[in-house]
Amino acid sequence: MPQPAFHGPLPAVGTVAPTLRYVNSERQEKTLADHKGEVVVLTAFPSVDTKVCATQTRTFNKQVADTGARVLSISMDLPFALSRFCAAEGIANVEAGSDFRHRDAAQVWGAAIAEGAMAGTLGRITWVIDRQGVIRYLEVAPELGAEPDYEAALNAAKGLL
């Protein structure tokens, strides 16, 4: 399945990352600004309840462990589902966030799928944001069912550390 059309233009490389509010798996209100001063690998995807999204979260969790970067994974999943998934899978190096309340990833970042069966969920997109909040890497998976290029994203992050 090709990557569908998105709600709006995605924040581009070289731009300051827009506002991103989310609810973490412990149901706490958080923002991307909470991670200022950190290198952040921000991933958006439809749901941890799909095979590729679950694999993506597990893989980033494993591969980011010793890098010093922060991985923040955002979806429309409710915090309860994110908490259940992270606990069951032993996810300790990825912060899971829900866009269900504020929809900043969907609307401000333009990452919502605009049409079809997955409309309203988030597309499979990866950004790397430097310590000053500037986007330094962007990847849109060529197909919704394709995994991101983990190596390229993590290399981009490591280059900023």
Dihedral angle at the C-alpha atoms of 46, 149, 56, 62, nearest 10 degrees? Answer: -150
Residues shown for the chain: 161
Cα–chain-centroid distance for residue 44?
3
Q: One digit per residue, pLDDT tens: the chain, 161 residues?
A: 566 788 889 999 999 999 999 999 999 999 999 999 999 999 999 999 999 999 999 999 999 988 999 999 999 999 999 999 999 999 999 999 999 999 999 999 999 999 999 999 999 999 999 999 999 999 999 889 999 999 999 999 999 99
Report strand pairing: 125-129 vs 135-140. Answer: antiparallel
Q: What angle do CA 84, 126, 153 make, to 5 degrees?
A: 105
DSSP string computed for 77-112: S-HHHHHHHHHHHT--SEEEEE-TTT-IIIIIS--B
* Residue among 63, 61, 100, 102 at smallest CA distance from 80: 100
Active site residues: 53
How far CA 75 is from CA of 46, 58, 66, 161, in Å, comes to 6, 15, 24, 26
Amino acid at 125: I
Domain ranges of the chain: 21-158
Can you tell me the distance from the alpha carbon of 21 to that of 98, in angstroms, rounded to the nearest whole number?
9
Phi first, then psi, for residue 22 (nearest 5°) are: -155, 170
User: Can you tell me which residue has the tokens 């899978």?
Assistant: 89
User: Which residues make beta-bridge pairs with 22?
Assistant: 30
Per-residue tokens: 127: 């950004």
**pLDDT score for 1:** 58
Residue 49 has a pLDDT of 95
State the CATH architecture for 21-158.
Answer: 3-Layer(aba) Sandwich (3.40)
